[in-house]
Amino acid sequence: MISDDEGSQKEKEALERQMIEGRFTEFRMLFYVGKDICRWLDQCVDTCGRDPEIIALRLPAQSFARLLIEQTPEDVATKLRGWGVVEYARIFSRSIGIFTKFRLPPTPEMLQARYLRHYYRYADYAYTAWKDLDKGPELQYANFPFALFASGEYTRKLEEEWREG
């Protein structure tokens, strides 16, 4: 027969495992969001590095990240909120922090439970460290406009352009 203390301990352990599994799922999702954002940041740097008028600014990825995260244009923020993404700045910065530390998504066995319990703090610090590596100039949306698209939305946009072109 299991005592109340043993049963309570097993419940605590089961809840702890469930919480750690949930945190790992969040962590993995942020890794892939970070991969997409960092790919976009690299594309921004590459595109601007090909423009003779902009190349002299030597814009680092951090300048574009600050534009996305700290100066989110209202139309972009409205779209994100419409998708149900309320704390997009925190999600984007943490995802960059995670992706800049891990080039491949770690398996659950590679991460300590303590790390997973508090991964968001590590991600916040990693983003701050990355952001401070190369400050670069502050960009204005009027000079560097951009839009966000969901995958299906982007596919429809491409199809429309192909039909018209």
- Give the amino acid at 159: E
- Give the amino acid at 112: Q
What is the pLDDT, as a whole number, of residue 4? 65
**Each residue of 81-102: pLDDT tens digit?**
988 888 999 999 999 999 999 9
What is the pLDDT, as a whole number, of residue 153? 73
**Each residue of 45-59: pLDDT tens digit?**
999 999 999 999 999
Work out the pLDDT band at 162, boundaries 50, 70, 90.
confident
Predicted structure pTM score: 0.84
The ranges assigned to domains in the chain are 4-164
| Whether the Cβ atoms of residue 35 and residue 112 lie closer than 8 Å to each other | no
Tokens of 3: 């005592």
**Phi, psi (rounded to 5 degrees) for 3:** -75, 165
Distance CA 87, CA 74 (A): 14
Among the listed residues 112, 157, 131, 149, the one whose alpha carbon sits nearest the alpha carbon of residue 65: 131
